[in-house]
Amino acid sequence: MDKNIRIAIIGGGPAGLSAGMYLEQKGYENYVIYEKTDHVGGKCHSPSWQGKRYEMGAIMGVPSYYAVHDVELFAGVTHDGPKLHRTYRLPNGKVDHRFDKKLWNIPHLLKLKKQIKKFGEILETKYKGYDICGHRGVSEGRYEGFAVTPGREPVSGVNPNLKDLALPFKKFVELNGVPLVQEIWVQPFTSFGYGYFDEIPAAYVLKYLDFQTMMNFVNVNLWTWKEGTQSIYEACNAKLKHPAILNAAISKIVRGKKVEITVNGKKEEFDKVIITTPLQVGTINNPVAQGLDSYLDVNEEERELFSKIDYERYDTMAYITNPEAYPEASFYVVDNMTPETLGHGMVFYMRWGNEPEQPLVSYVLRKHKDAGESVEQYKARPELGYEETKQIVLADLQKLGIPPKKEAGKDKIIYEFQAYYFPHVFSEDYANGWYEKVEAMQGKNNTYYAGEIMSFGDMDETIEYSRDLINRFF
């Protein structure tokens, strides 16, 4: 492809910025990144409180985040943040001892350990290729992409067993005789807003929490950034030859021999467009997202496929509690990570140890696809309302003994964040080749699709997919 073509990248989150980075590294320098907000980073969002940054979105990484490390090297930053710790509590605030090595708990922990080991062996053998970035070929029983290794060498192969990854994760682990592993995988999955194991295809769970990554979580072998996860992308943006244009309001994209984009009322012409923003069409009940068809000349094929996308209603709230109430560390409430406890706080996060008067952040989900419910029924059913859920969480905080501090009679809540979170498709559409159909559209109408939906909604997978896309098509 001609290295001088003009390329538009829609979105200044990890996917869009890394697409610009990888294009530069391949010699494509005639690109423009458009970001509709006043900052880069997307859900890697790190506001400041009393001179220190805290997290409203992505919290951490692990040593197997090789794509994030690409950005670190490019931007000249490193994972220099506070060491994280975790504890467990019951919904009533008491310590949860379920993972303690106490005499009464040893038999269950041994059984759990045995199933985790078995699961690792099954993934590496029966499901070889399960952890490759992206989903192309999986529903057809094949894999193609980059290995999850420091060298990330290209790999491909045929493995009919990969079709099992379309099953909900709960059915997948039951099929393989390791149901107990859900007790461990649920902690960085459901609590971090990625839905419930009875509804989400195993492919998503395992693209994010491949065995290597999961063991890093288990062993608390984690990366953080002193200036917050957003600082990675701020630094990346500053190093790009063409930093993102902020406050870029795109009202129309029309595609033909060229791609005409109307941004802030002015028409610009491009040869190609890479879309990293939400691909979902139609009305989206979210304050930070809009349907793709609100500005793109969506064709029938795109509408048919992108109408099948759903997302998680996942909200975070930062608040200040009284100094004597601060927990000793961030903690999980595992009992609240079930469909039956939808709307309750699942994890409560503090970034800086032993420092009262820092924000605590709560995390909550507001919708679940029930058993036997069709996708159409699910989408038509109302979700829990944001304000309703907020009151549930505030009641949870009272029970947990960490209520918001009162100022002038009001709760000291300093930030509320409603993200468009974890776009995905459900098992039936996954099994019917949704990803293969979308991948077959790459490049048509001078359009390329990247971002969360194309792999998974964490920062490493979105960056890795941008790398994969640029390597394949540019």
Q: What is the pLDDT of residues 6-61, one digit of tens each?
A: 999 999 999 999 999 999 999 999 999 999 999 999 999 999 999 999 999 999 99
Residue in the structure block whose two tokens are 């459900």: 426
Residue 431 clears pLDDT 90, i.e. is over it: yes
For residue 394 the two structure tokens come to 């505030």
Strand, coil or helix: what is 32?
strand
Whether the pLDDT of residue 132 is over 90: the answer is yes
Q: Does the fold of domain 310-424 match that of domain 105-217?
A: no
pLDDT at 1: 81
**Overall average pLDDT of the 255-264 stretch:** 97
Tell how strand 259-263 and strand 266-270 pair up: antiparallel
Contact 372, 321 (CB under 8 A): no
Q: pLDDT digit string (tens) for 74-97? A: 999 999 999 998 999 999 999 999
CA distance readout (Å), 379 to 150, 153, 307, 372, 375: 40, 40, 11, 13, 6
Q: Report the C-alpha gap between 269 and 252 in whole angstroms.
A: 12
Q: How far apart are CA 284 and CA 264, in angstroms?
A: 22
CA distance 262 to 265: 6
Which long-range contacts (C-beta less than 8 Å, at least 24 apart) are formed by 278-281?
Answer: 278/309, 278/311, 278/420, 278/423, 278/451, 278/453, 279/306, 279/309, 279/423, 279/449, 279/451, 279/453, 280/306, 280/307, 280/309, 280/310, 280/311, 280/423, 280/453, 281/306, 281/307, 281/309
Burial of 406 (0-12, 13-18, 19+ CB in 10 A): exposed
Amino acid 101: pLDDT: 83
Looking at domain 310-424, its CATH class is alpha beta
For 7-47+225-309+425-473, the fitting CATH number among 3.50.50.60, 3.90.1150.110, 3.20.20.140, 3.30.565.10 is 3.50.50.60
Cα distances (Å, whole numbers) of residue 414 to 54, 109, 230 = 11, 40, 18
Q: What is the pLDDT of residues 238-254, one digit of tens each?
A: 999 999 999 999 999 99
Does residue 282 contact residue 324 with C-beta atoms inside 8 Å?
no
Average of pLDDT values for 326-330?
91
Do the Cβ atoms of 101 and 113 come closer than 8 Å? no
Residue the block writes with tokens 């974890």:
422
Contact 303, 281 (CB under 8 A): yes
Q: Where do the domains of the chain lie?
A: 7-47+225-309+425-473, 105-217, 310-424
Helix (H/G/I), strand (E/B), else coil: 191: coil
Three-state SS for 452?
Answer: helix
In this predicted structure, the answer to whether residue 349 has a pLDDT above a threshold of 90 is yes
Class of domain 105-217: mainly alpha
